[in-house]
């Protein structure tokens, strides 16, 4: 049977051409977006921009209070989601012998949580944290709402970190009569840290990009926050406000978008570097 029974030369040429064309198209779009933001954003970006407060509804001035608010919101988010997330992950990964039923329920619930759209988190945060718990529009409300969003990512990654620890550590520790608490703290947790950190960084990346969940939980106020109960504006919300509600705000919006992208690049780059570096360190000694 000749080759041409399966496909003609022109057929093959067409499919190759098509696939390369698509790849080129996607690359072009990406470069278009990126270059547009860098070009317009870099013009406004300087040290003054990062350290002064916004003036004239953000058209002029900088984003210093916004950076602070963003950091605080992230801080609250991490402070709450890390203990809850790691604790849950440890229970799900290490105690399946005693917690099978309960663990399955928790896992099912987390799967549902992972599928909830961010605007619905915003609604929930508004109803639960702002209204019912009386926290109002505040950094605390925003951070807590983000913590709920980030939890499934954190738990999944930490769980994988624990599952990656070889099982013979647990068996030999048990054979020596070492309690599960000591085994956890001295042996398993240090070994599972890379998974934990990767999850943490992924979570931070997701949180910092989030807008919809923060609009009506952490508020719009662009002044420097004095406490966690103050309303604060996150970077993503600032970009939104400048582009939609403030005429002439585009220039600073570009700069803020650039700052956000650079932050994300740093965060993801750190995660990749950490994962590789630590993984490397563990494999070397043996």
Partner 1 sequence: MSPSLNDTILIWTLRGFAVIAGAIALLIVVFLILEALPVLRQVGLWRFFTDASWNPAEELYNLTPMLWGTLLAMAGSVLIATPLGVLSAVFCQYYAPPRISSLYRRLIELLAGIPSVVYGFWGLVVLVPLIGRLHPPGTSLLAGIAILTIMILPTIALTADASFAKVPPDYLRGAAALGLSRWATVRGVVFPAAKSGLFTGLILETGRAIGETMAILMVCGNVVQTPKSLFDPMRTLTANIALEMAYATGNHRSALFVSGLVLMGIIVALVAAAEVLKPSA
Partner 2 sequence: MITPEPHLNLQLTNAQSVPCNPQPFIQTENLSLHYGKKPVFTEITLPIHQGCITALVGPSGCGKTSFLSCLNRLTDLIPGCRVSGQIRLGSLDVMDAKLNTLLLRRRIGMIFQKPNPFPLSIWKNLALPLREHGIRNREQIDQMVETTLQDVGLWDEVKDRLDTSALSLSGGQQQRLCIARALVLKPEALLLDEPCSALDPISSGVVEDLIASLRVRYTLLIVTHNLAQARRIADYTALFWVQEGVGRLIEYGSVRQIFESPQEGLTAAYVNGMRG
Task: Report the site for partner 2 in 164-183 (rule: CB under 8 A).
Answer: 166, 168-179, 182
Stretch that binds partner 2, among 58-66, 120-128, 184-192, 202-210 (CB under 8 A): 184-192
Give the contacts of 109 (CB within 8 A, at least 6 positions apart). Answer: none
Phi and psi at residue 273, in whole multiples of 5°?
-65, -45
Q: How far is CA 106 from the centre of its chain?
A: 22
User: E strand or H helix at 182, and its extent?
Assistant: helix 180-182
The answer to whether 210 contacts partner 1 (rule: CB under 8 A) is yes
For partner 1, give the closer residue by CB, 86 or 139: 86
Window 246-285: contact mask with partner 2 (x via CB under 8 A): ------------------------------------x--x
User: E strand or H helix at 54, and its extent?
Assistant: strand 54-55
What is the C-alpha to C-alpha distance for residues 97 and 276, in angstroms, rounded to an integer?
Answer: 32
Q: What per-residue string of b and e applies to 57-92 under the rule 16 or more CB within 10 Å gives b?
A: bbbebbbbbbbebbebbbebbbebbbeebbebbbbb
Window 56-85: contact mask with partner 1 (x via CB under 8 A): ---------------------------xxx
What is the C-alpha to C-alpha distance for residues 282 and 167, in angstroms, rounded to an integer?
Answer: 16
State the minimum distance, in angstroms, from the CB of residue 170 to partner 1: 13
Window 190-229: contact mask with partner 2 (x via CB under 8 A): xx--------------------------------------
Q: Which of residues 16-45 bind partner 1 (CB under 8 A)?
A: 16, 18-20, 22-23, 25-27, 29-30, 32-33, 36-37
The answer to whether 100 contacts partner 2 (rule: CB under 8 A) is yes
The answer to whether 240 contacts partner 1 (rule: CB under 8 A) is yes
For partner 2, give the closer residue by CB, 28 or 179: 179
In order of 64, 185, 233, 238, 249, the CA distances from 243 in angstroms are 18, 49, 15, 8, 6
In order of 7, 15, 24, 208, the CA distances from 11 in angstroms are 6, 6, 20, 46
The answer to whether 3 contacts partner 2 (rule: CB under 8 A) is no
> What does 174 interact with, of partner 2, partner 1, none (CB < 5 to 8 A by kind)?
partner 2
Burial class (CB in 10 A: 0-12, 13-18, 19+), 258: buried
The answer to whether 189 contacts partner 2 (rule: CB under 8 A) is no
> What does 29 interact with, of partner 1, partner 2, none (CB < 5 to 8 A by kind)?
partner 1
- Catalog residues that contact partner 2 under the rule CB under 8 A: 96-97, 100, 166, 168-179, 182, 186-187, 190-191, 282, 285-286
């Amino acid at each position: 049977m000749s080759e041409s029974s399966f496909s003609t030369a022109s057929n093959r040429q067409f499919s190759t051409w098509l696939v390369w064309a698509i790849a080129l198209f996607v690359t072009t779009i990406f470069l278009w977006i990126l270059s547009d933001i860098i070009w317009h954003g870099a013009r406004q970006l300087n040290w003054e921009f990062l350290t002064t407060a916004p003036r004239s509804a953000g058209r002029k001035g900088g984003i210093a209070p916004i950076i602070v608010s963003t950091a605080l919101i992230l801080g609250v988010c991490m402070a709450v989601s890390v203990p809850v997330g790691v604790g849950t992950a440890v229970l799900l990964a290490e105690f399946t012998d005693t917690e099978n039923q309960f663990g399955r329920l928790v896992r099912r619930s987390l799967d549902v949580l992972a599928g909830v759209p961010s605007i619905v988190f915003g609604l929930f945060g508004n109803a639960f944290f702002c209204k019912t718990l009386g926290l109002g529009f505040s950094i605390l409300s925003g951070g807590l709402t983000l913590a709920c969003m980030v939890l499934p990512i954190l738990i999944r990654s930490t769980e994988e970190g624990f599952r990656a620890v070889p099982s013979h550590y647990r068996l030999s520790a048990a054979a020596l009569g070492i309690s599960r608490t000591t085994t956890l703290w001295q042996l398993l947790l240090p070994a599972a840290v890379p998974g934990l950190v990767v999850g943490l960084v992924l979570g931070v990346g997701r949180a910092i990009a989030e807008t919809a969940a923060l609009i009506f939980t952490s508020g719009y106020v662009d002044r420097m926050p004095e406490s966690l109960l103050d309303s604060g504006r996150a970077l993503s919300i600032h970009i939104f406000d400048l582009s939609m509600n403030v005429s002439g705000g585009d220039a600073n919006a570009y700069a803020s978008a650039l700052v956000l992208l650079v932050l994300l690049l740093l965060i993801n780059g750190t995660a990749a570097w950490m994962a590789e570096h630590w993984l490397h360190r563990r494999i070397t000694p043996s």
